[in-house]
């Protein structure tokens, strides 16, 4: 099992940041373009909430994959957690936390995952997936920050 953590300070209020982080359309617009990520089932538009599901389809490592997650924990505007219920990982849990810092938001991600395939999966986690997933989250969060701060100026 691997744990990847990230954090970023976003210059918008916590409630705005919390809702933007749950916006399905914005999510697909702020990930790497080459993955061609899109929603195909569940909550495919708007803001995902407690108990709701979404299935994303994307291409990673030249393989088109589907991943279905459910929001299993929800405390607006401080926390939401989504857990993979179907997909390529043996397990995947993504905790999103938000802290108010003098009117700005410290957004943190904690991604906990485990690859399938025993020893091969264990090696892949450490040699490839840990760095890949960290870069994926950092890129997405930076794009979210840019968008959030731009609309915050309006």
Q: Which of 135, 113, 140, 115 is nearest to 31 (CA)?
A: 140
Q: What is the pLDDT of residues 5-21, one digit of tens each?
A: 999 999 999 999 999 99
pLDDT exceeds 80 at position 152: no
Q: Which of 39, 10, 8 is nearest to 24 (CA)?
A: 39
pTM for the model: 0.94
Rounded Cα–Cα distance for residues 82 and 103 (Å):
26
Q: How far does the chain reach from its first CA to its final CA, in angstroms?
A: 42
Under a CB-based contact definition with an 8 Å cutoff, are residues 87 and 64 in contact? no
Rounded Cα–Cα distance for residues 100 and 106 (Å):
6
How big is the CA angle at 44 (ends 41 and 49), to the nearest 5 degrees?
Answer: 105
Residue 99 structure tokens:
């802290």
Rounded Cα–Cα distance for residues 35 and 73 (Å):
27
Q: What is the pLDDT of residues 66-120, one digit of tens each?
A: 999 999 999 999 999 999 999 999 999 999 999 999 999 999 999 999 999 999 9
Which CATH number describes the domain made up of 2-152?
3.30.530.20
* Residue extents of the structural domains in the chain: 2-152
């Amino acid at each position: 099992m691997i744990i990847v953590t990230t954090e970023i300070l976003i210059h918008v209020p916590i409630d705005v940041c919390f809702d933007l982080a749950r916006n399905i359309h914005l999510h697909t617009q702020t990930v790497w373009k080459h993955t061609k990520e899109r929603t195909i089932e569940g909550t495919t538009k708007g803001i995902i909430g407690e108990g709701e599901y979404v299935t994303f389809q994307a291409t990673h490592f030249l393989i088109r994959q589907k991943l279905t997650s459910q929001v299993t924990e929800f405390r607006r505007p401080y926390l939401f957690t989504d857990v993979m219920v179907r997909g390529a990982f043996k397990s995947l849990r993504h905790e999103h936390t938000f802290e108010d810092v003098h009117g700005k938001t410290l957004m943190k991600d904690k991604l906990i995952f485990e690859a399938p395939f025993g020893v091969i999966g264990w090696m892949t986690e450490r040699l490839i997936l840990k760095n890949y997933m960290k870069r994926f989250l950092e890129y997405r969060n930076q794009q979210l920050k840019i968008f959030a701060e731009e609309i915050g100026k309006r």
